[in-house]
């Protein structure tokens, strides 16, 4: 039972809990100084390990690190990079804003493993020290921003761009397949003039293609690394040649043209490149949302909706209605896009928190940026392979909608004028007839003229 004590305030005597009582999870957070279950992305950990491996090799060449120690640090760092010690990285996302806790987590694991390689004993600070050797020439303030850029650009190149290109090709293939399928266009959710289903899908393919171009456009900024700035951008305690040489080593290892930041003060105080990248990711998400929404509307029905395309049947879509198949994949894609748009808002807020010489929301920025890349890559791949590839055209529905559309009156304007064409459309609407039927019944035009003008 909760115990209370009495306190006086301006309203009189009140009873308050004698001590705080939390749920078990909150209590653990207080005791362990950890908030939530989100962990720093392993891609960041692996990128940090890559930096440490390169730094050890460069510091050895520069005469700043004993070759024996450098070899052990580099070997241990490569093991971390390869994922061998992933279970050792338990620091949560919501930590110090510079990411120092995660940087030191990496330094300590590398030093512990290096000491085991050299002495047979894990842990300790001798002969390899986590700060003096694993972190030599670095600060969390330049290493974490560099790791964010390395991890994000690698994930965009290796995961997201291939998935988007796959989706673009799938949509382009459908544009070709549907090139001869005439259907009604729609604007303002109202019938418009005819077009082809292929033309509609060509627009989707181009949206994705432009998304690829937008992401490629941010690469030069993400390729700039803050490494070498150390604490505030001045490079204190780092060899003058350290940054350029280490970044060149990272570039060779990854096959990505990373380079030293043109201005280290910008590179550590601001996260504009990450915000820009997130903006491009958000734009891709908006594109996918438009496409996914159109696909599910075009496939709505199957008998009481638009039904111009047939969606592949993947699973029973209803727990109560037999035979109902829902647009599972488009709806999954829409949920991903909502998450990415939300992530962008978080990243934008993080980007605003560059106070003086350091941004202090690096971990949560890293988490959201990498999650957006991962989610979009998975969504694009699943959308292409489990939905777009299996789409087929309902030619009968497409043709029927064209014939019933009042917007066919648009094709009459050059021949009979706007007002008279509008009157024909109104008669068709009022009588429930088609434009063709009104024109024929009232002998406004010959059959040949009707066929020619309505074939728009």
Q: Does 1.20.1250.20 match the CATH number of domain 144-252+271-396?
A: no
Contact 78, 113 (CB under 8 A): no
Write down the pLDDT at residue 455: 79
What is the domain partition of the chain in residue ranges? 42-140, 144-252+271-396, 405-454
Write down the pLDDT at residue 8: 64
Kindly report the CA angle at 412 between 406 and 414, in degrees rounded to 5?
145
Write down the pLDDT at residue 318: 75
pTM for the predicted model, two decimal places: 0.92
Write down the pLDDT at residue 30: 66
**In the numeric block, which tokens belong to residue 236?**
């204190």
Contact 57, 116 (CB under 8 A): no
Write down the pLDDT at residue 279: 98
405-454 to CATH, choices 1.10.3720.10, 3.40.50.2000, 3.40.50.720, 1.10.40.30: 1.10.40.30
**In the numeric block, which tokens belong to residue 297?**
């509307």
Write down the pLDDT at residue 429: 94
CA–CA dist 317, 284 (Å, integer): 27
CA–CA dist 442, 427 (Å, integer): 11
Torsion of CA 229, 231, 232, 234, to 10 degrees: -50
For 278-319, the pLDDT digits (tens) are: 999 999 999 999 999 999 999 999 889 999 999 998 876 677
CA nearest to 398, candidates 195, 173, 202, 170: 195
Q: What is residue 129's three-state secondary structure?
A: coil
Write down the pLDDT at residue 192: 93
Q: What is residue 174's three-state secondary structure?
A: helix
CA nearest to 146, candidates 62, 47, 217: 47
Domain 42-140's class? mainly alpha
Residues annotated as catalytic (active site), given as ranges: 188, 318
CA–CA dist 310, 303 (Å, integer): 11
Per-residue pLDDT of the chain (456 residues; tens, 9 = 90+): 555 566 666 666 665 565 555 566 666 666 666 788 899 999 999 999 999 999 999 999 999 999 999 999 999 999 999 999 999 999 999 999 999 999 999 999 999 999 999 999 999 999 999 999 999 999 999 999 999 999 999 999 999 999 999 999 999 999 999 999 999 999 999 999 999 999 999 999 999 999 999 999 999 999 999 999 999 999 999 999 999 999 999 999 999 999 999 999 999 999 999 999 999 999 999 999 999 999 999 999 988 999 999 999 887 667 788 878 899 999 999 999 999 999 999 999 999 999 999 999 999 999 999 999 999 999 999 999 999 999 999 999 999 999 999 989 999 999 999 999 999 999 999 999 999 999 999 999 999 999 899 876
Contact 226, 137 (CB under 8 A): no
For 196-227, the pLDDT digits (tens) are: 999 999 999 999 999 999 999 999 999 999 99
Q: What is residue 227's three-state secondary structure?
A: coil
């Amino acid at each position: 039972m909760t115990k209370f004590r009495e306190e006086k305030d301006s309203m009189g005597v009140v009873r308050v809990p004698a001590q705080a009582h939390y749920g078990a999870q909150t209590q653990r957070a207080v005791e362990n100084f950890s908030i939530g279950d989100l962990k720093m992305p392993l891609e960041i950990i692996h990128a940090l390990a890559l930096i440490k491996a390169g730094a050890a090799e460069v510091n050895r060449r520069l005469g700043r690190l004993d070759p024996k120690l450098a070899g052990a640090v580099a070997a241990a760092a490569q093991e971390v990079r390869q994922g061998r010690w992933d279970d050792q990285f338990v620091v949560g996302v919501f930590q110090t804003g510079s990411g120092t806790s995660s940087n030191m987590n990496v330094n300590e694991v590398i030093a512990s493993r290096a000491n085991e390689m050299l002495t047979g004993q894990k842990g300790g600070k001798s002969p390899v020290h986590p700060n003096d050797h694993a972190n030599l020439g670095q600060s969390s303030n330049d290493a974490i921003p560099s790791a964010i850029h390395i991890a994000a650009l690698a994930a965009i190149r290796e995961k997201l761009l291939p998935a988007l290109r796959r989706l673009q090709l799938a949509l382009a293939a459908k544009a070709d397949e549907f090139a001869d399928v005439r259907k009604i266009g729609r604007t303002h959710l109202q019938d418009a003039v005819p077009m082809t289903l292929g033309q509609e899908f060509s627009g989707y393919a181009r949206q994705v293609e432009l998304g690829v171009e937008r992401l490629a456009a941010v690469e030069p900024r993400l390729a700039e690394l803050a490494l070498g700035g150390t604490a505030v951008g001045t490079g204190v305690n780092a060899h003058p040649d350290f940054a350029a040489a280490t970044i060149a080593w990272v570039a060779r290892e990854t096959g990505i043209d990373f380079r030293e930041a043109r201005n280290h003060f910008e590179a550590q105080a601001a996260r504009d490149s990450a915000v820009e990248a997130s903006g491009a990711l958000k734009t891709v998400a908006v594109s996918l949302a438009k496409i996914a929404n159109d696909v599910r509307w075009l496939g709505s029905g199957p008998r009481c909706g638009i039904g111009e395309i047939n969606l592949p049947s993947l699973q029973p879509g209803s727990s109560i209605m037999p035979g109902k198949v829902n647009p599972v994949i488009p709806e999954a894609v829409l949920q991903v896009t909502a998450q990415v748009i939300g992530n962008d808002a978080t990243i934008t807020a993080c980007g605003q928190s560059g106070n003086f010489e350091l941004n202090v929301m690096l971990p949560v920025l890293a988490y959201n940026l990498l999650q957006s890349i991962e989610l979009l890559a998975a969504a694009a791949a699943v959308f292409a392979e489990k939905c777009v590839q299996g789409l087929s055209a309902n030619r009968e529905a497409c043709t029927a909608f064209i014939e019933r559309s009042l917007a066919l009156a648009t094709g009459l304007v050059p021949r009979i004028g706007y007002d008279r064409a509008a009157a024909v459309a109104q008669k068709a609407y009022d009588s429930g007839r088609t434009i063709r039927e009104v024109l024929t019944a009232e002998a406004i035009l010959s059959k040949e003229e009707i066929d020619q003008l309505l074939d728009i």
